[in-house]
Structure formats: C-alpha cells, structure tokens
Structure 1
Amino acid sequence: MTAAEQHWPAPTATDPVDAVVTVPGSKSATNRALVLAALASQPGYVRRPLRSRDSLLMADGLRALGIGVEDELNSSTGVSGGGDAWRVLPAPLGGPARVDVGNAGTVMRFLPPVAALADGDVHFDGDPRSHERPLGGVIDALRVLGARVEDGGRGALPMTVHGTGALVGGTVTVDASSSSQFVSALLLSGPRFQNGVEVRHVGAPVPSMPHIRMTVEMLRAAGAQVDAPEDGGVPDVWRVTPGALLGRDVVVEPDLSNAAPFLAAALVTAGTVLIPDWPERTSQPGDQLRDLFTRMGGSCELVEEGLRFSGTGRVHGIDADLHAVGELTPVVAAVAALADSPSTLRGIAHLRLHETDRLAALARELNALGGEVSETEDGLRIVPRPLHGGVFHTYEDHRLATAAAVIGLVVPGVEVENVATTAKTLPDFPDLWSGLLGAKG
C-alpha cells in the first residue's frame, strides 16, 4: 500500500493538551534565504533551516544550477535549538540543468529568474498539480526583462529557460492577483539584473502581502536597495537597484503558519501550548494567529520562552478577511467547524489555485463528516454541526492534513488520507502531533 493509500487514525484528546512544541523553521524564510545566499558575492549560512520537501527541492534546484549548498549539521549559533545549517557557496550559474519543483510554489516561481542569469538551458518540471498552478505572470515578466522562455504557450510548467549568463532587467508590469510570489520572484533576483527591476502590479489586490514584505526585508538585510509601497513609495510598485548582495549568517525563524494546528489544539481542547522562540516582531503572516485565535476564544501572551497560548473552554465563530493570510485558512476552517456559532472566511478566492482547490476541498471534506460548509464567491461560510468520524481526504495538500488532525482531536474516528503529505513543510508531523498528546510517535 502506498503512502497516499494509507489512512492515519487522527488521535483524539482525552484531556486538555499541555505541551511545548518546537516548530521547525519557516519555509518562506528558508527558501528566500537560500536564493539570496546563492546570488550573493560571498559564502553564507542559512541556520536552523526548514528541512522539508519544499526546501530540499529548492536546495537541489540551486545545486543543479551550480551553487554549492553544503550540510553543516554541527555548526554553532547562539540561538536556542541551533546547530543545523546549510553553507551556501555562490558560483557561476550554468546549464544545461533540470530542476524538479515538486509542487512548491516558491521553487517554481523563484528559480526561473535565477535560471535566466545562468549560462545555458534550464528545464523546469514537477508534480502533475504543478502544471495547473499559475506561472504565466513570471514567464511573461521574464520575457519583458530580456529572457527567452519556452513554455509551449501554456503559461505553465513544464518549461525551459534559455539562460545567457545575464539579464537586462528594467520595468515590468505583472498581474499578481493570483500569487504574491510573482512579485517576490522578480525582486529576489533583481539586484543581479543589469538594470535592476521595477515591478508594477495591475489587477485585483495582491494576496498574502506579508510575504512580499518578508522578501523586501530580507533583500535589505542582504544589502539591496529596495523601494516599497509600504515605506511611502508608489502604490503597487517595487524597485530594486542593481548591486552586490552580501553573504550573510541568517538564522531562520520558526514557521509561525505551521504553528496553527498546535495552537488550534490548545483552543479546541481548552489546553495550553508553548511555541518556543516566537519572535516579538516578524513579517511572517502566521503571526496573525495570535489575533485570529484570540477572537475565536483563546488567550495568549509573549513570554521569555516564546508564545504561550491557552484555550478557555469556548470556541467562537469568526468573520475574518484572510486575504493576507490565506495559508491559515484550512486550520481556521477546522476550528470554525467546532465553534459555537457560524463563521465567514472572506478574501480567499486565490486559494482555489494553491496545492489543490482549498475552498472546494475544505467544503467537501468537512461536509462529509457531517458539517455544513458552503463556498462563497471569495471564501467559505461555516455553520457548526455535530461531526462524526470518517476519512478526510487531503488532495496531496499538507494544510488539509493538519486541519483534519485538529478535527480528530475532538471527533473520534477521523482518518487522514496520506498524512505523509505534511512532509512538504512540516517533517515528522505525526510524531509531533503524538508528542502534543503525550503519546509516543
């Protein structure tokens, strides 16, 4: 039986959870740090990185282009839990090369601009679902900036970037309403373009704007000059000046979005969870969990060790615009299905284009367990109903799997199809989840 065919019995909590959960590093920060280190003028370190399918695919993609990405498992750092690192050795980018993107949005969007700087052809392909995910914004932009890209007119994978060793750069207009990664992809490589890059967004509002803010902050930390709208610049226009990037020693923050199921566990079981090293200030969208789950009935405080979050015994419905934090939707929806009043989750039409159509999948799977969930034009309407056990299908989407685990805490008999898909961003999730409940993995 393959991993996809296996059903994982989601553990049911018999008592309020009381646990310390160390969340692995941020996928978003890890993959941005790897790209910036690869394009730097000196070697650098990415410490406490996430080692998951998505980040390993990014590291392998950079290696295919000629970059040295070396494991240093005994490296030292003063940050608690440190010791694991990648040493990144910049080198001339070259082909021919083949890059497997899997189903990682950051890999399929961030690496083509890097490949345009390579001397040689770079072919990109990935999982079947990757062929359906939007990529045309990046492809069209690269052509405007001087690259030659062969995609058979699909605006999607598979495709080949015919690198010439340099890219002119300049001004480009992009419709990033389907993914903020279109903007981040161009900004990250922009310092290496001959004329830098000016990215102008046109269209509906860009989703997940905190991720672009993360890109801007990490670029500036690496020595790049960036003009951004949120700093008083022109709305929907980002500019990166050409110049050398610094090789740095970067420590990756915990992935706050991946803390969602563990905080949800405290909320739905009236328990307490401590997430160590939660930053006081961060650009990660997952930091909004503190507000969302407090509004849904929990309480939290930043303490010296990290974030302590507790459930109060009541779970309330919520009316929330999740446009900027769409990745939190599956777990928020799971909690909403267990609440004492209805919820409306808005601003998330773009989730139909993620690892799967997340809105349709959530409605289908929660309803199959007895819920009452309906799709709206831009989100979900959730009316709590008594739930029962059953198989929760994940559609190879890691966030569907963690949402199902949350339901299983209070609904006996929930079986998660292909829980192994959580390895995309949260390695060893079943063991982490069992540890949360005081069980052995």
Structure 2
Amino acid sequence: MTESSVQSAHWPAPYASGAVEATVTVPGSKSVTNRGLVLAALAAEPGWLRRPLRSRDTLLMAEALRAMGVGIEETVSSSSGGTAGGPSGEAWRVIPAGLHGPASVDVGNAGTVMRFLPPVATLADGPVRFDGDPRSYERPLHSVIDALRVLGARIDDDDRGSLPLTVHGGGALDGGTVEIDASASSQFVSALLLSAPRFNQGVEVRHTGSVLPSLPHIRMTVDMLRGVGAQVDEPETGGEPNVWRVSPSALLGRDLTVEPDLSNAQPFLAAALITGGRVTVPDWPARTTQPGDALREIFTAMGGSCEFTGTAGSTSLTLTGSGRIHGVDLDLSEVGELTPGIAAVAALADSPSTLRGVAHLRLHETDRLAALTKEINELGGDVTETADGLHIRPRPLHGGVFHTYDDHRMATAGAIIGLVVPGVEIENVSTTAKTLPDFPRMWTEMLAGAGA
C-alpha cells in the first residue's frame, strides 16, 4: 500500500477472500505508556519505559512533559528483542526535573493528556496553558478542574469547565479530600491519583456519581502507582466503596516494559472471528489490568475460541473463528472502549445483540453511539440507540463510505466490516495514528495469507 492511498480521503477497506491466518504483533499500550510517562516524570530518580507506544497521544504526552521541564531521551537498540511498543529495542529514558512554567501544552484530542496533566501542572513553578483540537473543547473536564480547586489549585477556564485553560502552578499543592462525579470518565479519578503522592497531604478521592465506567483503567492506575512505591487504599483491596486514598511519598524510578495494547488487538482478533480464521497475538500478558483482556471472553461468547501458548513469561493468544458469529447481550460499562469493534462484529452475527452500560461513550472522541448507529445503518444495518447503549439486528450489509469522525476506533470498526462486505471505504483512516500508527500496513499484511 502506498503512502498516498493511506492519506487519501477514502481508504478502500481490504476484503478477505478467505479465512485470515496470521500472527500480528501489536504495539504497546497507550494507557500504560502515558501513565508510565506521568509517574516517571514525578519520580525522585530517572526511569525507563521500554517498548513504549509511539502514537499521536503518547507523543503529545511526552512533548507536554518536556514543555514543563522533564527530560525524555529516546533510544533504539537493534540488539534488544521485543514486539510491543515502537521499534524493536526502543526505550525512553525519563529524567525528572523541577517542573516549571510558563509552558504551553497541546492535548490534541487525547483524554489522558487533557485530564492527567492539569494535576501535574499544579506542581509546576509558573503558569501552564492547555489547548487542543476543537473536539477537545467539547469533552468534559469540569470534575478535574473543580477537584483541583478544592485541593488548592488556581485555574483559569472562564467558567467553562473545559479547555482551553491555564493552571497557575505554585510548585506544590496542598491536596486532601475531594468529592467528584466521575460517571462521565474514569480518567477523572486516575488524573487525581497519579499526581497525589506529590501533593502535601496526598489525596482522598470520593466518587459521588452514578455507576463509574471503565474500572479496569482505575485498577491499572492503582497497580502502576504501587509499582513505583506509592501507598494506595482502594475498594478492590477492602477499602471503602468508591473511595481511593493515596499517601504523600517520593516515587521510585522504574524500568518498565510496556505491554501490547490489548484493545488495539481487537480488530485483528475480530478478523479471525468473522472469517473463520486464526490470528495469534504474541506477548499477551497472563495477568493484566488492561480492559482489552476481556476480548477473550467476549469473542468466545460470539463464536470464537481462545488459547494461550508459550511459557508464563512469554505467552501468545490465539483466537480461532468457528465460521459462525453469535449475537450477545453484554454490559460493557467496564470495557466501553471495545464497543465499536464489538458492534461491528455484532452487525455480522446470526442473531441480535444488545450492548449496555456505555452511555458515557457519547462523550468520547466523538459520540460513538450515534456514530456507530449512523454508519452501520448507512451500510444497510439495523442499529438503534438505547439510553445506555445499542441494539443491533443483523441485516445483509452493502458497500459505502464509513465515516470516522476523527475517531480511531470508528476507523477500525469500519475496517472489520469491510473484511466481509465488499466496497466499504473508510473516510480518514489516518485517524488510527492516535493509538495505532501503522494500522493500514498491519491490516494488509495480516490479509496476505487470506488471498486479499
């Protein structure tokens, strides 16, 4: 595939003329990479991130931290093996420094950057201005802004509760107890927890809203905090429900190897499921906090079978399709980011599906529920929105343009459908660079064994 075809307005989604048989090396986790960068920047000593993801979101995070004075050195060693993250042997050395302003941060449309870094900026000596893509202005940030003010920060946002804004860092933050409604995004909780060890009093975060979405991402934050020496009390380990406490402490520099991004493995595993093929993803962790690990159970319920191979230290996951796709009734509240890919598979199933617990997806990179409904229906599908999800009745689909709304998961969802529906064209497939920069190349290489 040529560079010009990837950058063209409409990318013809490759059609699989047979069962997909492939081994696909998935780059590193965006969620782990960006949390790792923040924790390394706040540590008391230098640390390493090995096999980090190089994508728009992670490069925005790295550049933002550099703007506030953190040193991040990128190295590549051809002698180091590895599959997840950037090129083989890539590593980033993070050198903490005194955070300072004035600084300007471009968040793009990255939720982790726009939410994780304002708490960091309160520790800087001077003002830090945050701005981003037009869509970033529409994404909720009020819970983080209000919480930081309660904890002692001074923030100018013209009372919008959203970007653009300026954090007037004072070199420290008192911290303490704060109540927030994080029902719109678990990132509100993670944002406060990640910087909390550096607050004078630490932090006690109390979620007061309705059901908290994407709990695995909060578990990831807690696990990574503990990995660098922080003391965290949380509901999962016998703490008070919906309350997290982080004590003030110095953080250790760590040598962290980033896991493959299991959510980004979704389209490749889906390819095996919908074509009756077989796809193997190397280095699938035997234990992980990533929400993408739920794909093993979900895609098994939809007609596939999963098998681990290898040793405990180097496992691979193989998904084999049965040639049939079953509808499902799923509560996806903890794994909402998987919804677009699951919806694409469900549109090809032999029975209806109901996807529940994902009302918060209306506030993601785009309104994902409305976007999925519109785009699948324009290909001949029958999808209706519910109060908190989607109801999908499979219908024969036809070709057409699948719009992405600058949302990487919409692009990969369209590509899944295009595998078995001729004539699907993806508008702006380059938006996958947000978390999976080489997706078009990886997709066509996967199909090489399927006669595509």
TM-score, structure 2 as length reference: 0.96
Alignment deviations for residues 253-294 of structure 1 (CA, whole Å, 9 cap, x no partner): 000000000000000000000000000110000000000000
In 2, the alpha carbon distance for the partners of 1:327 and 1:164 equals 36
Corresponding residue for 1:364?
A: 374
Corresponding residue for 2:419?
A: 409
1:194 Cα deviation from its structure 2 partner:
0.4
1:6 corresponds to which of 6, 9, 22: 9
2:109 corresponds to which of 95, 100, 103: 103
Corresponding residue for 1:422?
A: 432
**Structure 2: where are the runs of 5+ without partners?**
none
1:74 Cα deviation from its structure 2 partner:
1.6
Corresponding residue for 1:43?
A: 46
Letter in 1 for 2:317: L
In 1, the alpha carbon distance for the partners of 2:153 and 2:25 equals 42
Contact 2:26/2:83 (8 A) holds in 1: no
Task: Write the mapping of 1:238-277 to structure 2, written as runs, cut at 5 A.
Answer: 238-277=244-283
Question: Is 1:309–2:315 an aligned residue pair?
Answer: no
Task: From the superposition, tell whether residues 126 and 41 of structure 1 become closer, same or farther in structure 2 (CA, over 3 Å).
Answer: same
Corresponding residue for 2:202?
A: 196
Corresponding residue for 1:176?
A: 182
Contact 2:176/2:204 (8 A) holds in 1: yes
Contact 1:4/1:417 (8 A) holds in 2: no
Alignment deviations for residues 286-317 of structure 1 (CA, whole Å, 9 cap, x no partner): 00000000000000111114001010000000
Corresponding residue for 2:71?
A: 68
2:359 corresponds to which of 349, 352, 359: 349
Corresponding residue for 2:33?
A: 30
The percent of aligned pairs where both chains have the same amino acid is: 71
Alignment deviations for residues 300-340 of structure 1 (CA, whole Å, 9 cap, x no partner): 11111400101000000000000000000000000000000
Alignment deviations for residues 106-129 of structure 1 (CA, whole Å, 9 cap, x no partner): 000000000000000000000000
Letter in 2 for 1:192: R
Letter in 2 for 1:182: F
Corresponding residue for 1:125?
A: 131
1:92 Cα deviation from its structure 2 partner:
0.1
Contact 1:191/1:243 (8 A) holds in 2: yes
TM-score, structure 1 as length reference: 0.98
Which deviates more, 44-53 or 76-85?
A: 76-85
Corresponding residue for 2:441?
A: 431
Corresponding residue for 1:398?
A: 408
Letter in 2 for 1:148: R
Letter in 1 for 2:124: A
In 1, the alpha carbon distance for the partners of 2:164 and 2:111 equals 14
Corresponding residue for 2:350?
A: 340
| Root mean square deviation, CA, Å | 1.5
2:141 corresponds to which of 124, 135, 138: 135
In 2, the alpha carbon distance for the partners of 1:194 and 1:214 equals 24
In 1, the alpha carbon distance for the partners of 2:236 and 2:168 equals 35
Corresponding residue for 1:208?
A: 214
Question: Is 1:112–2:118 an aligned residue pair?
Answer: yes
Contact 1:168/1:195 (8 A) holds in 2: yes
Alignment deviations for residues 146-187 of structure 1 (CA, whole Å, 9 cap, x no partner): 000000000000000000100000000010000000000000
**Structure 1: where are the runs of 5+ without partners?**
none
Contact 1:262/1:273 (8 A) holds in 2: yes
Contact 2:5/2:11 (8 A) holds in 1: no
Task: From the superposition, tell whether residues 75 and 144 of structure 1 become closer, same or farther in structure 2 (CA, over 3 Å).
Answer: farther
In 2, the alpha carbon distance for the partners of 1:311 and 1:360 equals 29
Corresponding residue for 2:21?
A: 18
In 2, the alpha carbon distance for the partners of 1:147 and 1:273 equals 49
In 1, the alpha carbon distance for the partners of 2:376 and 2:333 equals 21
1:205 Cα deviation from its structure 2 partner:
1.2
1:388 Cα deviation from its structure 2 partner:
0.2
Letter in 1 for 2:442: L
1:78 Cα deviation from its structure 2 partner:
6.6
Q: Runs of at least 4 residues of structure 1 off by over 4 A?
A: 1-5, 75-82
Question: Is 1:220–2:223 an aligned residue pair?
Answer: no
Contact 1:65/1:93 (8 A) holds in 2: yes
1:79 Cα deviation from its structure 2 partner:
5.2
In 2, the alpha carbon distance for the partners of 1:308 and 1:193 equals 44
Task: From the superposition, tell whether residues 392 and 80 of structure 1 become closer, same or farther in structure 2 (CA, over 3 Å).
Answer: closer
Letter in 2 for 1:396: D
Question: Is 1:157–2:163 an aligned residue pair?
Answer: yes
Contact 1:342/1:383 (8 A) holds in 2: yes
Question: Is 1:230–2:240 an aligned residue pair?
Answer: no
1:73 Cα deviation from its structure 2 partner:
1.2
Contact 2:51/2:82 (8 A) holds in 1: no
DSSP-derived class of the 2:210 partner: coil
Letter in 2 for 1:383: R
In 2, the alpha carbon distance for the partners of 1:280 and 1:415 equals 36
DSSP-derived class of the 1:438 partner: helix
Task: From the superposition, tell whether residues 433 and 80 of structure 1 become closer, same or farther in structure 2 (CA, over 3 Å).
Answer: closer
In 2, the alpha carbon distance for the partners of 1:397 and 1:4 equals 15
Corresponding residue for 1:281?
A: 287
Contact 2:194/2:221 (8 A) holds in 1: yes
1:5 Cα deviation from its structure 2 partner:
6.3
In 1, the alpha carbon distance for the partners of 2:377 and 2:7 equals 21
1:373 Cα deviation from its structure 2 partner:
0.2
Question: Is 1:374–2:377 an aligned residue pair?
Answer: no
Alignment deviations for residues 10-35 of structure 1 (CA, whole Å, 9 cap, x no partner): 00000100000000000000000000
